[in-house]
A and B are shown apart, each in its own frame.
Chain A
């Protein structure tokens, strides 16, 4: 019921972010003759990222629909957000590794040390690591508090027992609620989170190691790398938050009205989960909107003569 009430808000947040990201998207227009190689590299990496997103989305849909047929308990279905994120990350890796600038007889390079830290945008780094950390903590907590369900499947429900005095007689009361994100769901999800983290690291290294197209386009090339790194972190954030939302929802509903008095820790976790679930869902919708709207920085040809200086914030087209 709560999910149904929250859903319109989430859709609204997703659409609003998509529109906002489209409107605020910066296009760095540069004279093609001055930065031809950067424009070519930018187009190739952008195309492969978009292709990765499309393939990832199609596979995620397949996992959502087909997964339910294979495993009605939703273990496969829960991996759909990670599949979409992995598609974007793989598209980024392939794009960055195959975007090779043309080399002439005379080639120059800057004497510099490029590092992953140098291209990471602070806000997105904080969001990606924060959401992945909260997801990891929620899954570990789910494993720690999970117990077997009525058919003996370990880590699929949350069980509590307590003693209550009814009509002067001490009665042992027990209840079990599920689905619960215990080991049954959490182990494959933690595995997916690990793979996603490795893919994100690989994509960031690929972004940094891509050869510089030309020393005359250093600023523009750096801008592109930062945009690509932000895209990697957006995909990671989306996967983590879209996975976290149902996990938090199941934790919240599992801890509610168990029939026994909750411990202070359980109460705190339960309330936190009620807050985290809609926030994570809205955050995932926003991240998906940004992924669909495309990269923050787009490089386009400018046929008319220009200054040749490319900088962040130059005209939006």
Chain B
């Protein structure tokens, strides 16, 4: 069985709860996580990612408000029956590119240099 993974990067200027929210929303929106699938318990995911439990709890709250998941006391957090669909690939790439450029800025790399890195990687 292949498990999906989520990643948190401290060098990414996006707050960890938002990094996590975006990845889980993508997994749900693209159908990787199906309706009814259980998300990891807050404490477990927080411990695995080295985050505070409150950070993961905030992610789950945001996902619940957006209709991606439903939480029930004692029953954990599960993917909602009819979650919103994922953004179009173009919009998702726009988001990823914006995050990449923001990270480059934190590292002191100019946008044109960052773009050249992408170009070099794309050409293999």
Contacts and interface: CB of A to CB of B under 8 A. Distances in A.
Given A103-B50, A209-B43, A209-B44, A110 B7 contact: no
Contacts of A106: 7-11
Contacts of B39: 111, 113
A111 B7 CA distance: 10
Contact of A107 (B3, B8, B27, B76): B8
B9 A109 contact: no
Contact of A109 (B10, B11, B43, B45): B45
Nearest to A113: B38
Interface in B1-30: 3-11, 24, 27
Nearest to B11: A105
A109 B40 CA distance: 10
A108 B40 contact: no
B33 interface: yes
B36 to A, nearest CB: 13
Contact of B49 (A107, A114, A218): A107
Interface in A94-151: 103, 105-114
B41 interface: yes
B3 A111 contact: yes
B9 A218 contact: no
Which one of A106, A109, A110, A210 has the greatest number of beta carbons of chain B within 10 Å?
A: A109
A307 to B, nearest CB: 19
A102 to B, nearest CB: 9
Interface string B39-78: 1110111011110000000000000000000000000100
Which one of A107, A209, A210 has the greatest number of beta carbons of chain B within 10 Å?
A: A107
Contacts of B4: 110-111
A108 B10 contact: no
A228 B47 CA distance: 19
Given A103-B50, A107-B50, A112 B7 contact: no
A301 B48 CA distance: 23
Contacts of A114: 40, 44
A218 B1 CA distance: 11
Given A209-B43, A209-B44, A218-B3, A109 B33 contact: no
Given A112-B40, A113-B40, A113-B41, A107 B7 contact: yes
Given A209-B44, A211-B48, A110 B8 contact: no
Given A103-B50, A111-B4, 12 more contacts: A106-B10, A107-B49, A107-B50, A109-B6, A109-B48, A110-B5, A111-B6, A111-B24, A111-B27, A112-B3, A215-B3, A218-B3
